[in-house]
Chain A
């Protein structure tokens, strides 16, 4: 039985950048618990010797030539921007650094 706490849900919401409400925390905690309980079943058959599948079609080495292709104009690039300035996307102040 998984038991996902309200705090864990709050942490997940933070990681996923979702400013969820208190009410949502309660609802999601219950629902995620229920869903996780039922999906945990996968570990019953996931033995060590079974290789995982990440891609449905077994392709390898799909490469592109290193040749420039026309892209978008600055106007097109910025066409959907909520805010733009000086040919750039304008965004609220960024916290911290990377």
Chain B
């Protein structure tokens, strides 16, 4: 039974469809796994046992009755990041301010998952309001990296990445504002994709930075990620920034990639991402990955994107600015935490007391930073300039994609760092998103795929692949081709090298 948790989503879906196993058995296996290991990992904030089994039974009913299944992932379990609303199921966004909140509505992603027969196991841990790169900013305690429990699983979606690396779920949903899908994917040896902005609806995604936030798939294989991408992608009239175009053919592209041929594909290595500040083992893994791509027939060239080095500072103006406005609604009036309402305090005072109590340090820091950046007198120098950098970064991508089909870089400069190592140094923490942020600012698609273990510390490294907006399929073709080649050379999928989980926390 435990073997079920080792299978890919595609394999599980096939076994369910052909009645080799039931969705209930698959779901129960994962619930059992969660019960066995999540005390050590802490990937989940809420496990919806009953809801999951009920959804599984519905799929089994369809199978038994011979009805056409709702999607190629019908009956497959999934872990949902706690930033997407789930009707009647707690949604905390990793914050005390929403502890116990039961949303009266489903996010569009949640609805699409339910309609596709995907079994939602529960809600995963995250940095509070998705602000962070380590999941240490969760108000409910950190998540541990399955590769080394003393290390971070990345962030903000550390719960989602850890849950699949720990075989608690074959699939997960993350959200990526500055790298929160890709960086956790890299440091846990899993696949994470940030689709083109507007490719997946943001309706019901509790906003951190509206112009950057994008939900996407997390999986153990590129094909699984593609299958999930097709389930959650597509136009949504409830999101004005949703693109009214068909989902790029990502599953077909992944299958094409699995053939292992990349001849004719032009790959650009981003010149600016490397050198000082990058762990040498990460760089060696990246260089090996580039060689692998070349071996698959890709034409590799170096490409300069001179403004990418301004992406991090621009991000730390735009994201806090938008968050200072997005998080204003958490004011103790209509929902969530209320503090200090003892009859002596005014509404204004209760708002301030509640927000002080309900938000963690990183959230407060960013709210104040954003409040400052938007203030009259500073707007042009900070927010205004950051928006111009955004234009420059888009132009860099545009000119790069005239020369190449995809760009590659390390996903993050280092392997998973130790829990507690960077908590008191925000600037050091922010560096984790150095390479991932440009695609958030420009809105294009990007993926992290495991490129092996760093030779100096034995921890996973990720290869980032970037494609133009709406060309998400290119990620999957290149990613899948690379993945089969790497796994073949290494004698198996990287994530299966995760140490067996015992009692050592």
Residues of B454-480 contacting chain A, CB below 8 A: 469
Contact A95 B314 (CB under 8 A): no
Nearest chain B CB to A66 CB, angstrom units: 14
Q: Mark B197-220, 1 if CB is under 8 A from A, else 0.
A: 110000000000001100000000
Contact A16 B368 (CB under 8 A): yes
Contact of B372 among A36, A72, A89 (CB under 8 A): A36
Contact B347 A59 (CB under 8 A): no
Contact A81 B346 (CB under 8 A): no
Compute how far the CA of A39 lies from the CA of B311 in the bound complex, rounded to whole angstroms. 10
Using A35-B316, A82-B332, A89-B333 as known contacts, say yes or no to A95 and B391 having CB atoms under 8 A apart: no
Q: Which residues of B contact A94 (CB under 8 A)?
A: 346-348
Contact B359 A18 (CB under 8 A): yes
Question: Is B30 positioned at the interface, with any CB of A under 8 Å from its CB?
Answer: no
Q: Mark A34-53, 1 if CB is under 8 A from B, else 0.
A: 11101111111111001111
Q: Mark B312-343, 1 if CB is under 8 A from A, else 0.
A: 01101100000010001001111111100101
Contact of B384 among A24, A28, A46 (CB under 8 A): A46
Q: Which residues of A contact B232 (CB under 8 A)?
A: none
Q: Nearest residue in B to A56 (C-beta to C-beta)?
A: B443
Question: Is B394 positioned at the interface, with any CB of A under 8 Å from its CB?
Answer: yes
Question: Is A68 positioned at the interface, with any CB of B under 8 Å from its CB?
Answer: no
Contact B365 A15 (CB under 8 A): no
Question: Is A1 positioned at the interface, with any CB of B under 8 Å from its CB?
Answer: no
Contact A51 B237 (CB under 8 A): no
Q: Nearest residue in B to A69 (C-beta to C-beta)?
A: B238
Using A18-B355, A82-B332, A93-B346 as known contacts, say yes or no to A40 and B381 having CB atoms under 8 A apart: yes
Using A19-B353, A56-B197, A80-B335 as known contacts, say yes or no to A45 and B388 having CB atoms under 8 A apart: yes
Contact A35 B427 (CB under 8 A): yes
Q: Which residues of A contact B346 (CB under 8 A)?
A: 92-95
The winner among A18, A45, A72 for most chain B CB atoms within 10 A is A18
Contact A80 B102 (CB under 8 A): yes
Q: Which residues of B contact A42 (CB under 8 A)?
A: 310, 313-314, 317, 382, 385-386, 388-389
Q: Mark B337-365, 1 if CB is under 8 A from A, else 0.
A: 11001010111111111011001010011
Instruction: Give the A interface residue count (CB, 8 A).
Output: 56
Q: Mark A8-36, 1 if CB is under 8 A from B, else 0.
A: 11001111111111001001100110111
| Majority SS at the chain B contact face | helix
The winner among A14, A18, A39 for most chain B CB atoms within 10 A is A39
Q: Mark B428-441, 1 if CB is under 8 A from A, else 0.
A: 00000000000011
Contact of B391 among A13, A18, A53 (CB under 8 A): A53
Q: Which residues of B contact A64 (CB under 8 A)?
A: 237
Compute how far the CA of A92 lies from the CA of B102 in the bound complex, rounded to whole angstroms. 23
Q: Which residues of A contact B241 (CB under 8 A)?
A: 55, 57, 59, 62
Question: Is B415 positioned at the interface, with any CB of A under 8 Å from its CB?
Answer: no
Contact of A28 among B196, B317, B364, B389 (CB under 8 A): B364
Question: Is B371 positioned at the interface, with any CB of A under 8 Å from its CB?
Answer: yes
Q: Which residues of A contact B104 (CB under 8 A)?
A: 72, 76-77, 79-80
Q: Which residues of B contact A44 (CB under 8 A)?
A: 310
Q: Which residues of A contact B356 (CB under 8 A)?
A: 18-21
Compute how far the CA of A7 lies from the CA of B382 in the bound complex, rounded to whole angstroms. 20
Contact of A18 among B101, B345, B364 (CB under 8 A): B364
Q: Which residues of B contact A32 (CB under 8 A)?
A: 365, 368-369, 372
Compute how far the CA of A51 lies from the CA of B384 in the bound complex, rounded to whole angstroms. 9
Nearest chain A CB to B134 CB, angstrom units: 17
Nearest chain B CB to A32 CB, angstrom units: 6
Compute how far the CA of A28 lies from the CA of B353 in the bound complex, rounded to whole angstroms. 17
Nearest chain B CB to A70 CB, angstrom units: 11
Contact B384 A55 (CB under 8 A): no
Q: Nearest residue in A to B348 (C-beta to C-beta)?
A: A95
Contact B394 A39 (CB under 8 A): no
Nearest chain A CB to B323 CB, angstrom units: 11
Contact B345 A16 (CB under 8 A): no
Compute how far the CA of A41 lies from the CA of B334 in the bound complex, rounded to whole angstroms. 40
Using A50-B388, A89-B334 as known contacts, say yes or no to A17 and B364 having CB atoms under 8 A apart: no
Further pairs besides A21-B356, A56-B197, A95-B346: 14, Cβ < 8 Å? A15-B375, A18-B356, A19-B352, A31-B426, A34-B427, A35-B369, A46-B385, A46-B389, A50-B391, A57-B197, A62-B241, A72-B104, A81-B335, A82-B336
Q: List 22 A-B contacts (CB under 8 A).
A: A8-B372, A16-B328, A16-B367, A18-B352, A19-B352, A19-B356, A42-B314, A42-B382, A42-B388, A45-B310, A45-B389, A46-B385, A46-B388, A51-B391, A53-B388, A57-B469, A77-B104, A79-B104, A80-B334, A81-B335, A91-B333, A91-B347
Residues in B lying within 8 Å of A, measured CB to CB: 101-102, 104-105, 196-198, 211-212, 237, 240-241, 243, 307, 310, 313-314, 316-317, 324, 328, 331-338, 341, 343, 345-353, 355-356, 359, 361, 364-365, 367-369, 371-372, 375, 381-382, 384-392, 394, 426-427, 440-443, 469
Residues in A lying within 8 Å of B, measured CB to CB: 4, 8-9, 12-21, 24, 27-28, 31-32, 34-36, 38-47, 50-57, 59, 62, 64, 72, 76-77, 79-83, 89, 91-95
